[in-house]
A and B are shown apart, each in its own frame.
Chain A
Amino acid sequence: DVKVTQSSRYLVKRTGEKVFLECVQDMDHENMFWYRQDPGLGLRLIYFSYDVKMKEKGDIPEGYSVSREKKERFSLILESASTNQTSMYLCASRTRDRGYTFGSGTRLTVV
């Protein structure tokens, strides 16, 4: 089974801090994704990457950036955290049957 590991389950950061969320997958998949989940809004795509050093903006990229230096690792960066970025962040890797395997999520609180 594909494993997608997110480095932190819970994070609390201060407004204005730079925040790094890390995600690692172990199956050599090309496509990786970052979503955020908010009540009533479902899963919204922030960024995705289809190969090393390649990235595409999703539906809500403002305030975020990403890094993919190695195939197995996809990082989400909050350049200057704000309270409206308090959310559940989910990383996913795309499997060959066109579905996703998700990580366990990172619950980020910005105070």
Chain B
Amino acid sequence: DQQVKQNSPSLSVQEGRISILNCDYTNSMFDYFLWYKKYPAEGPTFLISISSIKDKNEDGRFTVFLNKSAKHLSLHIVPSQPGDSAVYFCAASRTGANNLFFGTGTRLTVIP
């Protein structure tokens, strides 16, 4: 049973515009969330995270929003750049668990 879901397999955005990637989860015990970015033929790299005690975390062009009541988080990239074109994975963790639970990924294409 997929506990973390990314319902959009792909997203295309014009350079300079905002990219919004969405993620939903089902397990209310999740208390820490992360986004990873993956280029082809490379391993995923950490992008940004958020604890459940916050509803927003910002790092440069990247902002993650968490809506606990809706069990939903989103990653905003502003402005989008061609180098942002990659697959983005949402992940969730709960206290006491050793592993992360990953979504299926969203392929972002930023069009120059």
Is chain B a partner of chain A in the same complex? yes
- A interface residues, Cβ below 8 angstroms from B: 4, 6, 9, 31, 33, 35, 37, 40-43, 45, 48, 50, 56, 58, 90, 92, 94, 97-105, 107
B32 at the interface (CB under 8 A from A): yes
Q: A58-B99, A103-B43, A105-B41 are in contact. Are A43 and B49 (CB under 8 A)?
A: no
Q: Which of A40, A50, A102, A107 meets B44, CB within 8 Å?
A: A102
| Contact (Cβ within 8 A) A90 B93 | no
Chain B residues 18-70 with CB under 8 Å of chain A are 32, 34, 36, 38, 41-46, 49
Chain B contact residues, CB within 8 Å of chain A: 6, 9, 32, 34, 36, 38, 41-46, 49, 89, 93, 98-100, 102-105
Which of chain A's residues has its CB closest to B105's CB? A42
Q: Give the chain A neighbours of B44 by CB distance below 8 A.
A: 43, 90, 100, 102
**B interface, over-half SS:** loop
Given known A9-B41, A104-B43, A105-B43, contact A33–B99 (CB-CB < 8 A): yes
Which residue of chain A has the shortest Cβ distance to B45 in the bound complex? A102
Other-chain residue from B42, B45, B89, B98 in contact with A31 (beta carbon distance below 8 A): B98
Q: Known: A42-B104, A105-B42. Contact between A99 and B34, CB under 8 A?
A: yes
A101: chain B residues at CB < 8 Å are: 46
Q: Chain A contacts of B32 at CB under 8 A?
A: 98
22 A-B pairs with C-beta separation under 8 A? A31-B98, A31-B99, A33-B99, A40-B9, A41-B104, A42-B6, A42-B104, A42-B105, A43-B44, A43-B102, A45-B99, A48-B99, A50-B98, A94-B98, A97-B49, A98-B32, A99-B46, A101-B46, A102-B44, A103-B43, A105-B42, A107-B41
